[in-house]
């Protein structure tokens, strides 16, 4: 089995983490959101059993 992204079991926890960001996370998110850095960032992304604060999912197109 591969890595499970955004397991539905953790949905409420991910939402809570997005609504309860630390002041440092808020500052960082204000710089990352809206593709200001050239990439689309996501907050509180589920990757396997973990929830990461910020991530960029990059797909390779052939």
For 49-60, the pLDDT digits (tens) are: 889 999 987 765
- Which residues, other chains included, contact 40 with Cβ-Cβ below 8 Å and sequence gap of 6+? 56, 57
Q: Is the pTM of this model over 0.85?
A: no
Helices (H), 20-56: 23-32
Report in angstroms the alpha-carbon separations of 31 from 14, 34, 36, 53, 61: 20, 8, 7, 14, 27
Containing 11, the helix (H) or strand (E) segment is helix 11-19
Q: Quote the pLDDT of residue 59.
A: 64
Q: Quote the pLDDT of residue 8.
A: 82
pLDDT digits (tens, 9 = 90+) for 5-59: 788 888 899 999 999 999 999 999 999 998 888 888 999 998 888 899 999 877 6
Report d(CA 47, CA 54) in Å as an integer: 11
């Amino acid at each position: 089995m591969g890595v499970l992204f955004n397991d539905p079991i953790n949905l409420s926890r991910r939402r809570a983490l997005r609504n309860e960001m630390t002041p440092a996370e808020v500052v960082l998110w204000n710089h990352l959101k809206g593709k200001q850095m050239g990439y689309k960032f996501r907050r509180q992304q589920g990757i396997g059993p973990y929830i990461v604060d910020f991530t960029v999912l990059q797909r390779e197109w052939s």
